[in-house]
């Protein structure tokens, strides 16, 4: 789907420009055009990127390929080509990975493209209707608004991760079963994958706010700097989650080991009490003809006394050793 | 709450300037004004930052937002905007995290703002009354005094952490229970969080003492350098605490493992002594008609001799193996 | 085997130029010559590299030596010398390591050489027949096409590694036997070896797209940049595989430990039930003359009641402890 | 204690200049003055540093404060201010940490100060009496001599650490008791603390031999380079000690685990032999009226044969499994 | 021992120049002189380095000291001073550490010195006799030949390490005894020590092939680059060895843990079968007067049936649990 928005220098923005009017809109170098390709097919990509904008074949190829792309920034002189990764609201931790968003930033136009649905694009379109500041400051500010939206989408995901780790920290203490381990490891892997996405993305934004590009106004760089700060914070939070996950894993493994200790103590206490008792009982079960104790009047009660003494002695010893 | 302090070039400082006199005080470019916003509401922030100082919207937004902010330094040309993190005296390790302090440093003014109570601001205000050196050296020196106070607040916290680790090193040896593990892991997490705060804060101060800013006098940089050295030291101490925590964890885990060993030895000693004894007793409890030993006169004492010999032999073997 | 391809400025490419025509082809500085040495013997290397091209002895030596070479880029002024590592399709994880490909990139020629079969060379030769873009853009573009092919060969290998790790993640849960451990460790080692190859290779390509070389056109650098991005992605994927391998190892080790726990619980449950029961049975197996219980009418059923009560009590205790 | 040494351009050095003559000695800009403050009180620091040399208040404050200071180098234009850490001979590993030495290096003077006794200062004073090369090459060479002495004091400490690790490597094999663990962990912590001191100290010396300071002659830099090389070597040695400590810890933990294995084997061997034997004995201890074996003439010897066969079978099985 | 080789510009090389002729040989600035000090005494060092070449005292001191020196490169203007570490063929892993070789590289001379025998020097001397290329390209090429020889000596050592790790990978599976652990840890330490030597050595060679030194011809730098590549490869191989050692350690520790599991299973199987059996036998060994089963005609065979059923039931349970 191709949706085009045109903001002339003077006059009302046209939020649904037909494709046929794109060429004339682009000719107005004072205006601003945003072409958003959402889940486009091959033909739409060719029509916009190749026939209309004549983008570099390598960049177009990146927009067409479906595999995971590391976030990057390519400078093609007249325009910048950005690959960033976005997340969709909801559905985290369910195998849903990040989604690629490609952005071409020119002097007076912005082309965004994503093979899969990216909610940030939609949300920005809605914000355009009520906040005209977004398009009155040129293509660089519009690009900032889009990146800002993309980065903001990460926040609820990070919050969800923090809730998960809070739950797991509780769970490793109260109920350290194998499923808890599974969730810990999954969270660990997920947050490390996210780190690997955020890290180059941060670098892309950093270049936008640090390097000199003709289509980016020095005043706008402050705003990219703000997006950069958000990513730094997200990265920090992911670091914290990784640390906490490692701690949870340590508690879990220790819980397993403590449980083994507890089981072993139970076994040892029962064995060390009853093995001697059984031996004594076995002794007086022997059939020797000459065993004087067997004939004693108080032999049987005495043996019970011995039983009780052994048991008390053993229990006392364990108590001293603080085994229970 | 807005509290304004005005230090004219000549004459006594006015420690409680009313807000209405702020404009004229700022007009005196030879003087120095410090506006401190403590737990301000939206309206106070707007009144001071937007209407009076016309600070950049992004910086104002940072002052308004309540979430965790990574320490940073933004150069807006006429003023610097700093985000630093402070701690409050007391109450460490009780879920109380750091508190954000925002500082605007201009040529002849300083604006500080914090949504939650920051004790460093209060303490600096009190020091102003008895130490005029603080405000006689310009806004950069005043800013240094504030940052110095913020950094000094960390010291008692670090001391508390060191006491905790000293206690834990003792505890893992004398009483390695699960609560000790909990405290070790909590301390570890806490000190790692603190490291993540201190590290960018150090970088902020480093830029103040290294880079060229028009509102910072080269002579003052020496003082920022001093604050920087304090943060380096704090960072070093946190490194030490982390190492010691890791060691404590290792001792703890080994204590668990040693305890298991001890339990296993007790079990093994008792079993390997009494199982053979019980077997011998069982043999002479058999009911075969032709068992010559049963009829012997000294059979029973002889069996006791066997019992004793087996027990002594086993104990000797364990002694040789150094099992007890 | 020496195979020579000659692309004159005007006219059809000659895909199988005889060696005797090489000299005159090279004299045409407007054309493009690609000399591919595949599994060459000493004499062929000397004939081409020493007698014809007069390459530096050190570079020639590198082409002759059979051991592992770290990927590198040497600038000899008139030509660049590249050592890259390739993989062959199929046969991964079977002890088959990477294969060295040496490339000399001159202004209007390309010499490639590999002591062992490198499938990327063959594939590029086939693509030449149907895609003339490859040789119409000069030697740097031809070199890019070769490197692109080399890097593309890695992708199915990485996919195979990801399938292996998916299988192993499943296996550590369902069937954590020593063979699974072996495969985990082998995968870990393999992916770490691959990382060590990819990392300097990436650096070589990075220099091609960043540094200034007379034989590389600025327009071509974009294409080397594309190859570089592929390598960055491959490196990212290897990072992910390493992390997942580490997780699988953790689950495996925990499975071992859980299994020990399960075995110990079975032992403890049986022992703590039957040791007391056997003791009671032993007591009434004693031969004291005066044991009143033995004569009771209901003695035997009562003892069975005791047996059942002990067993139920123990089982209840274990249930409470959640041991089964 | 203030001790002043004055080396006039011409004539004998005056090793115990009274404080009153300091001013005139300093006026001789061709000479060289070394003021050493050893364990000074507040008043002595003020008299020398503030009243005489007018050092910067921040530097003076650093000399007065008693806490740990990270080694650093501050350039105050007319003089350099160095904070280095020294050790005292003997008494290592006994809670004795490093001791701070502050050095002011001017064009023709050197001021050293340390709140606690630093043996390097004393030793240098003694060397002055017999080696005039030290003071004939200016203040920078004298400073180098002092730093060289400070660094040399570390060597015997490192040697002591290496002896300790040699002892511990032996001990973890022959006698892996908890005290050995304690010593391993203490050594690990100590060497990591030392690393943290050496690392910034190395950086300080590196700046002395690399940067351009007016009071340091290019020829002297070679000598600072030599001190730097010593610190690099010490750092390398500490790295080696850390690695060996980690290995010792691994051997220790494995020894614990091996011991558990050995205990478990003993228990298993005894149990698996005697439990079946006891069962057989128990069978023939039953009181059924019709048990034909009991009446057999050779029943009893046959049962002994069964006992022996079971025992031999079990032992053979264990032998096959290489359990002993 | 001092051995001097003199290569005049014209004429045959003099492989054993007497010391007395050294001065005149050095006066020939067109020729090339190599002075090799092998295991020299104090007097020889003084005679050559101090009296003849007037080398800097610090460099001479480095040649005299016997302790370990980190490889380094000092630029003394007229000559370079190199400290490199060499190994001797054979005798690896037997406590034999690396041996220091000091090299002075001047415009037309090379002085090498080593307190202990370095085989690379000897080998180079032999190669001089048959390969005149070595001395016809100036002192820098001669120096390269020496360093190349030094680096080549490492290769058989690395091969030996790889054989050792191959053996150990086999051993941890077939025979994981404590001696295997010892060898793993020794190999790990050895390869880490070697890494620490190779890393700065690589840096030294890197400076030779990258920096501008008057006595090194740009053409020769290619050759130093070749030596550098060798060191990079050696470093890579050491990295691989370290990884494989870590894997071997992991397999070893897991083998210990598996063995414990196996022992525990044997114990549990035997106990859980025979404890219930013994209990049943014990029941019918009781002496109650009224035990109807004892008088049954088929009581005894029935009890055996119970025994067999219990045993089969237990074994079936274990089989289901896959315990054997």
pLDDT at B312 (0 to 100): 94
Nearest residue of chain C to residue A68 (CA atoms): C233
Q: In chain A, where does DSSP find H-type helix?
A: 22-27, 42-45, 57-64, 119-130, 133-136, 138-152, 154-174, 178-210, 218-283, 292-295, 299-320
Looking at every residue in chain E, the average pLDDT score rounds to 88
Q: Contact C254/A259, CB-based, under 8 Å?
A: no
Residue with tokens 């002092």: D146
CA nearest to B140, candidates B221, B82, B75: B221
What does the alpha-carbon distance between residue B274 and residue B279 come to, in Å, rounded to a whole number? 8
Q: In this complex, is the C-beta atom of A258 within 8 Å of any C-beta atom belonging to chain C?
A: no
Nearest residue of chain E to residue D265 (CA atoms): E263
Q: Which segments of chain D are extended strands (E)?
A: 2-7, 14-17, 32-38, 72-75, 80-86, 99-105, 109-114
Q: Contact E251/C181, CB-based, under 8 Å?
A: yes
Q: In this complex, is the C-beta atom of D254 within 8 Å of any C-beta atom belonging to chain E?
A: yes
Rg of chain E taking only CA atoms, in angstroms: 35
pLDDT at D47 (0 to 100): 93
Residues D147-161 have pLDDT tens digits of 999 999 898 888 888
Band of residue E55 on the pLDDT scale cut at 50, 70, 90: very high
User: C124 and C149 in contact (C-beta within 8 Å)?
Assistant: yes
State yes or no: pLDDT of E250 exceeds 70: yes
Half-sphere exposure of D237 (CA within 13 A, CB side): 22
State yes or no: pLDDT of C105 exceeds 70: yes
Residues B195-242 have pLDDT tens digits of 889 999 999 999 998 888 998 988 888 899 999 999 998 998 898 898
Nearest residue of chain A to residue B287 (CA atoms): A287
State yes or no: pLDDT of B94 exceeds 70: no
Question: Which residues of C fall within a CB distance of 8 Å from A294?
Answer: 287-289
State yes or no: pLDDT of C91 exceeds 60: no
Q: Contact A256/C257, CB-based, under 8 Å?
A: yes
Band of residue C63 on the pLDDT scale cut at 50, 70, 90: very high
The closest CB to that of D247, out of E72, E188, E293, belongs to: E188
pLDDT at E251 (0 to 100): 84
Span A143-158, average pLDDT:
91
Strands C2-7, C14-17: pairing is: antiparallel
Q: In this complex, is the C-beta atom of D309 within 8 Å of any C-beta atom belonging to chain E?
A: no
Q: Contact B244/D70, CB-based, under 8 Å?
A: no
Residues C178-215 have pLDDT tens digits of 788 888 988 888 888 888 899 999 999 999 988 889 98
Other residues' Cβ atoms within 10 Å of the Cβ of residue E168: 22
Band of residue B83 on the pLDDT scale cut at 50, 70, 90: very high
Question: Which residues of B fall within a CB distance of 8 Å from A282?
Answer: 277-278, 281-282, 285
pLDDT at A52 (0 to 100): 93
Question: Which partners does chain D have (≥3 C-beta pairs < 8 Å)?
Answer: B, E
Q: C261-320 adopts what CATH topology?
A: Methane Monooxygenase Hydroxylase; Chain G, domain 1 (1.20.58)
Residues D77-88 have pLDDT tens digits of 899 999 999 987
Sequence-distant (6+) residues with CB within 8 A of E12 are: none
pLDDT at D172 (0 to 100): 86
Question: Which partners does chain C have (≥3 C-beta pairs < 8 Å)?
Answer: A, E
State yes or no: pLDDT of E93 exceeds 60: no
What does the alpha-carbon distance between residue B171 and residue B166 come to, in Å, rounded to a whole number? 9
Buried b (16+ CB within 10 A) or exposed e, D47-71: bbbeeebebbeebbebbeeeeebbb
Looking at every residue in chain C, the average pLDDT score rounds to 88
Residues 269-288 of B with CB under 8 A from D: 271-272, 275-276, 278-279, 282-283, 285-288
Looking at every residue in chain B, the average pLDDT score rounds to 88
Sequence-distant (6+) residues with CB within 8 A of B292 are: none
Nearest residue of chain C to residue A272 (CA atoms): C275
Looking at every residue in chain A, the average pLDDT score rounds to 88
Q: Which is more confident, E48 or A256? A: E48
Q: In this complex, is the C-beta atom of B299 within 8 Å of any C-beta atom belonging to chain A?
A: yes
Q: In this complex, is the C-beta atom of E308 within 8 Å of any C-beta atom belonging to chain C?
A: no
Sequence-distant (6+) residues with CB within 8 A of C13 are: C5, C6, C7, C128, C132, C135
Percent of chain A with pLDDT over 90: 41
Q: In this complex, is the C-beta atom of E256 within 8 Å of any C-beta atom belonging to chain D?
A: yes
Q: Contact C286/E287, CB-based, under 8 Å?
A: yes
The closest CB to that of A271, out of C229, C251, C275, belongs to: C275
The closest CB to that of A271, out of B67, B256, B271, belongs to: B271
The sheet carrying C2-7 orders its strands as C14-17, C2-7, C32-38, C109-114, C99-105, C80-86, C72-75
Q: Contact A281/C276, CB-based, under 8 Å?
A: no
Question: Which partners does chain B have (≥3 C-beta pairs < 8 Å)?
Answer: A, D
State yes or no: pLDDT of E1 exceeds 80: yes
Interface test with D, best of B288, B290, B291, B324 (most D CBs within 10 A): B288
State yes or no: pLDDT of E105 exceeds 90: yes
Q: Is the dihedral of CA E63, E65, E66, E69 positive or negative?
A: negative
Question: Which residues of B fall within a CB distance of 8 Å from A222?
Answer: 56, 58, 74, 76
State yes or no: pLDDT of D96 exceeds 80: no
What does the alpha-carbon distance between residue D3 and residue D35 come to, in Å, rounded to a whole number? 6
Span A162-175, average pLDDT:
87
Question: Which residues of D fall within a CB distance of 8 Å from B276?
Answer: 270, 274
Other residues' Cβ atoms within 10 Å of the Cβ of residue A170: 12
Nearest residue of chain D to residue B279 (CA atoms): D278
Q: Which residues pair with E99 in a beta bridge?
A: E86
Question: Which residues of D fall within a CB distance of 8 Å from B254?
Answer: 178, 181, 253, 256
Residues D280-315 have pLDDT tens digits of 999 888 888 888 888 888 888 888 999 999 999 999
Q: Contact C266/E268, CB-based, under 8 Å?
A: yes
Span D241-251, average pLDDT:
87
Question: Which residues of B fall within a CB distance of 8 Å from A224?
Answer: none
Q: Which residues pair with A38 in a beta bridge?
A: A114
Residue with tokens 């082809």: C25
> Which helix or strand (DSSP H or E) is residue B179 part of?
helix B178-210
What's chain B look like in SS3?
A: CEEEEEECCCCCCEEEECHHHHHHHHHCCCCEEEEEEECCCHHHHHHHHHHHCCCCHHHHHHHHCCCCCCCEEEECCCCEEEEEEECCCCCCCCCCCCEEEEEEECCCEEEEEECCCCHHHHHHHHHHHHCCHHHHCHHHHHHHHHHHHHHHCHHHHHHHHHHHHHHHHHHHHHCCCHHHHHHHHHHHHHHHHHHHHHHHHHHHHHHHHHCCCCCCCHHHHHHHHHHHHHHHHHHHHHHHHHHHHHHHHHHHHHHHHHHHHHHHHHHHHHHHHHHHHHHHHHHCCCCCCCCHHHHCCCHHHHHHHHHHHHHHHHHHHHHHCCCC
Region of poorest pLDDT, from E88-97, E206-215, E303-312:
E88-97
What does the alpha-carbon distance between residue A85 and residue A103 come to, in Å, rounded to a whole number? 11
Q: Contact D236/E291, CB-based, under 8 Å?
A: no
Band of residue B114 on the pLDDT scale cut at 50, 70, 90: very high
pLDDT at E80 (0 to 100): 95
State yes or no: pLDDT of A316 exceeds 80: yes
Band of residue C95 on the pLDDT scale cut at 50, 70, 90: low
Q: In this complex, is the C-beta atom of D175 within 8 Å of any C-beta atom belonging to chain E?
A: no
pLDDT at D93 (0 to 100): 52
Domain residues of chain A, as ranges?
2-255, 261-320
State yes or no: pLDDT of D141 exceeds 80: yes
* CATH code of domain A2-255: 3.30.460.20
Q: In this complex, is the C-beta atom of C223 within 8 Å of any C-beta atom belonging to chain A?
A: yes
Residues 99-158 of E with CB under 8 A from D: none
Q: Contact E289/C287, CB-based, under 8 Å?
A: no
Interface test with C, best of A259, A295, A307 (most C CBs within 10 A): A259
Span B81-89, average pLDDT:
87
Q: Contact D233/E196, CB-based, under 8 Å?
A: no
Residues B297-316 have pLDDT tens digits of 888 888 899 999 999 999 99
Q: How far is A122 from chain B (nearest CA, A)?
A: 24
State yes or no: pLDDT of A123 exceeds 80: yes
User: A124 and A114 in contact (C-beta within 8 Å)?
Assistant: no
The closest CB to that of C58, out of E222, E233, E258, belongs to: E222
The answer, as to whether pTM is greater than 0.90, is: no
Residues A187-197 have pLDDT tens digits of 888 888 888 89
Question: Which residues of B fall within a CB distance of 8 Å from D58?
Answer: 222-223, 225-226
State yes or no: pLDDT of C90 exceeds 70: no
Question: Which residues of C fall within a CB distance of 8 Å from A181?
Answer: 251, 254
pLDDT at D110 (0 to 100): 95
Residues C24-38 have pLDDT tens digits of 999 988 889 999 999
Nearest residue of chain B to residue D278 (CA atoms): B279
Question: Which residues of C fall within a CB distance of 8 Å from A303?
Answer: 286, 288
Q: In this complex, is the C-beta atom of E324 within 8 Å of any C-beta atom belonging to chain D?
A: no
Residues D168-218 have pLDDT tens digits of 988 888 878 878 888 898 888 888 888 889 999 999 999 998 888 998 988
DSSP state letter for B49: I
Question: Which residues of B fall within a CB distance of 8 Å from D69?
Answer: 229, 233
Band of residue E90 on the pLDDT scale cut at 50, 70, 90: low
Q: In this complex, is the C-beta atom of B249 within 8 Å of any C-beta atom belonging to chain A?
A: yes
Q: Read off φ and ψ for residue B114, nearest 5 degrees.
A: -150, 130
Residue with tokens 């703890």: B252
Span D262-276, average pLDDT:
88
User: C169 and C244 in contact (C-beta within 8 Å)?
Assistant: yes
Q: How far is C248 from chain A (nearest CA, A)?
A: 9
Question: Which residues of C fall within a CB distance of 8 Å from A277?
Answer: 279, 282
């Amino acid at each position: 789907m191709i949706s085009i928005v045109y903001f002339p220098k003077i006059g009302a923005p046209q939020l649904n420009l037909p494709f046929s009017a794109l060429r004339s809109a682009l000719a107005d170098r004072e205006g601003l055009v945003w072409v958003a390709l959402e889940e486009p097919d091959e033909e739409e990509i060719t029509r916009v990127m190749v026939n209309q904008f004549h983008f570099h074949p390598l960049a177009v190829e990146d927009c067409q390929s479906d595999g995971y792309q590391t976030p990057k920034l390519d400078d093609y002189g007249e325009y910048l080509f950005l690959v960033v990764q976005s997340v969709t609201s909801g559905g985290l931790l369910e195998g849903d990975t990040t989604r690629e968003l490609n952005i071409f930033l020119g002097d007076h136009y912005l082309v965004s493209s994503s093979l899969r649905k990216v909610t940030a694009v939609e949300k920005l379109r809605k914000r355009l209707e009520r906040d005209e500041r977004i398009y009155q400051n040129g293509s660089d500010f519009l690009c900032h608004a889009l990146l800002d939206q993309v980065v903001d989408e990460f926040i609820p995901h990070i919050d969800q991760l923090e809730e998960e780790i809070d739950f797991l920290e509780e769970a490793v203490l109260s109920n350290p079963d194998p499923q808890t381990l599974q969730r810990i490891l999954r969270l660990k892997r997920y947050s490390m994958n996210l780190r690997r996405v955020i890290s180059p993305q941060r670098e892309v934004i950093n270049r936008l706010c640090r390097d000199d590009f003709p289509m980016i106004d020095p005043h706008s760089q402050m705003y990219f700097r703000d997006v950069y700060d958000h990513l730094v914070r997200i990265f920090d939070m992911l670091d914290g989650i990784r640390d906490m996950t490692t701690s949870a894993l340590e508690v879990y493994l220790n819980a397993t080991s403590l449980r083994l200790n507890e089981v072993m103590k139970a076994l040892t206490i029962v064995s060390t009490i009853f093995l001697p008792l059984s031996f004594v009982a076995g002794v007086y079960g022997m059939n020797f003809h000459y065993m004087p104790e067997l004939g004693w009047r108080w032999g049987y009660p005495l043996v019970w006394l011995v039983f009780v003494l052994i048991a008390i002695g053993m229990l006392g010893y364990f108590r001293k050793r603080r085994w229970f």
